[in-house]
Amino acid sequence: MKKPLLTLAAAFIFCAVAFSQNTDGDKNTGSSNPPLTAASFAEAHLQKFEQDVQLTDSQRVFLFEAYKKLYNNRQAATTRTSSREQINVKQQSQQIFEASCDSILTKEQRRQLTQKQEERKQQSINNHLRTLNK
């Protein structure tokens, strides 16, 4: 039951990190996107999270802080000298974040997240199969 929740959280984090990196190409296009901050990262992820699960105000505050901490830990990991060390720090931050999520959500909310993840997984498989059949 924990694995789907952890995978969903990891997918959110991966997307945020993958799309948050600013390259020289982005600078040349005149992109008006503001730089990513811990607060904007947290807010964006909470909005996605709340599409799947209704959160209480206290859960929202708790998860907002957990997302900010995750962002800051992942940013700090990029200052490490070795790739292996960066990966280890990022994995540890992810595990801490997932434990935080697991501790604050009710059993029903975890069930809803798992169900949504399975639906997305099936939709992704179906889309891929349609692409292959074209």
Element (H or E) spanning 50, and its range?
helix 38-52
Residue 32: helix, strand or coil by DSSP?
coil
Q: Residue 49, Cβ neighbours under 10 Å: how many?
A: 21
Q: Determine the pLDDT at residue 23.
A: 45
Contact 53, 112 (CB under 8 A): yes
State pLDDT tens for residues 1-44: 556 655 555 555 555 555 555 444 444 444 567 788 999 999 99
Q: Determine the pLDDT at residue 80.
A: 78
- Closest to 1 measured CA to CA, from 117, 114, 115, 119: 114
Residue with tokens 């801490």: 96
Q: What percent of the chain has pLDDT over 90?
A: 49
Q: Determine the pLDDT at residue 28.
A: 45
Q: Determine the pLDDT at residue 16.
A: 53
